[in-house]
Amino acid sequence: AQSVTQPDIHITVSEGASLELRCNYSYGATPYLFWYVQSPGQGLQLLLKYFSGDTLVQGIKGFEAEFKRSQSSFNLRKPSVHWSDAAEYFCAVGETQGAQKLVFGQGTRLTINP
């Protein structure tokens, strides 16, 4: 069965510092991978997605992620975080034939120190 692990429950970084959020997945076929962000009291918003092709994908808000098949990873990165990036981040994997049945990781809560 497919699964997603986000090893870090909570990360704190200083504003302007670089960020990397880890995501490891288990999936039998070529995975479809997503990163979503959730601000308090809100639904989830798509940051970026990987289906095929270039393993480095660019998303919104200056985020990028790299798909590494050999490591079963899809880590999210940002060179310089802003206070507005404080939120919860979810990695997801799934199939997209017909409906998107996604499996989400547990989430990583990001706190930004001024």
Q: 9, 23, 42: which is closest to 102 by C-alpha?
A: 23
Least gap, CB of 99 to other proteins (angstroms):
4
What's the token pair of residue 37?
A: 């962000």
Q: Which is nearer to other proteins, 81 or 107 (CB)?
A: 107
Q: Which is nearer to other proteins, 77 or 109 (CB)?
A: 109
Q: Which is nearer to other proteins, 81 or 89 (CB)?
A: 89
The secondary structure of the chain, three-state, reads CCEEECCCCEEEEECCCCEEECCEEECCCCCEEEEEEECCCCCEEEEEEECCCCCEEECHHHCEEEEEHHHCEEEEEECCCCHHHCEEEEEEEEECCCCCEEEECCCEEEEEEC
Residue ranges that bind other proteins, judged by CB under 8 A: 4, 9, 32, 34, 41-46, 49, 51, 90, 92, 96-107
Least gap, CB of 46 to other proteins (angstroms):
4
Q: Which is nearer to other proteins, 66 or 95 (CB)?
A: 95
Least gap, CB of 39 to other proteins (angstroms):
10
Least gap, CB of 43 to other proteins (angstroms):
3
